[in-house]
Amino acid sequence: MTPNWTEQREALREWLLSHPRILIGCDFDGTLAPLMPHADEARLPRVTGEAMQRLIALPGVALAVISGRAIADLRQRVALDGAWYAGNHGLEMAAADGSTVVAPGAEDARAALRHALGRLAPLPREMPGVWIEDKGLTASVHYRQASEDCRAQLEACVREAVKGLEALKVRPAKCIWEILPAGEWDKGTALRWFMNRWGVPSNATAFMGDDVTDLNAFRELPDGWTILVGNDVDVKARMRLRHPGDTAMLLEWMAKVRA
């Protein structure tokens, strides 16, 4: 069983104090911010934002937020100067110095994505509780508020919408079907880009996330800190947090120790 973070406190303390430079990566929904019935309702708790700001201000600490949200949406919700951001599952990234990059091939899939979204347009009328989020480079089909009875049919509809569109792929997440460019870029690739830019190895990096899409970031940290939030994903991680409230507590503790 994955240990609770308090069981790893001393090992984590040693990690925080032994590296001159560290990178702490976080997912947003379900990790920093509590999951809400509708994604538009998600907000970064004040106490979490304050802990993140204290970490950012410390020498040798970089903090990156890597999310499935569009980067503009993510930056607006986090709103912390000095943070690093990656949106659309890492397809678009911004370093703290303002430099940005879009994953190779992501723009090329826009026409196919528009075509798939056109096929899916009737879904919200036909399946109450389903809504579609167009994030520019990707799209999310949300069904958290939909009936359990329609979910198998919804999956079939989403997969049919991308049929024949080789530029796209479909991937499940928590009460979401993600439609993305077919390339290999993901949250792990984005985390690796941030690690390279900050100049830290995997053993000086931590990442916390709650969803199956965050496992790609865990992949990049064979000797780093992989931190799973919640109990919804059955995966091996170095330690576990119960909920986003624990995330805030951990970030505050990390800032105090590092200071």
**Sign of the alpha-carbon dihedral angle for 177, 187, 87, 49:** positive
Rounded Cα–Cα distance for residues 155 and 174 (Å): 13
216-228 pLDDT, tens digit each: 999 999 999 999 9
The reply to whether 5-103+185-258 and 107-181 are identical in fold is no
The token pair that represents 18 in the structure block: 């032994």
Which residue among the candidates 27, 29, 211, 246 is catalytic per the annotation?
27
pTM above 0.75, yes or no: yes
Domain ranges of the chain: 5-103+185-258, 107-181
Could you confirm whether 27 is annotated as catalytic? yes
CATH top-level class for 5-103+185-258?
A: alpha beta
- Specify the residue for token string 């024949």: 164
Q: Which CATH number fits domain 107-181: 1.10.10.10, 3.40.50.10240, 3.40.1160.10, 3.30.70.1020?
A: 3.30.70.1020
77-128 pLDDT, tens digit each: 999 999 999 999 999 999 888 888 998 889 999 999 999 999 999 999 999 9
Rounded Cα–Cα distance for residues 210 and 235 (Å): 10
CB 192, CB 14: distance < 8 Å? no
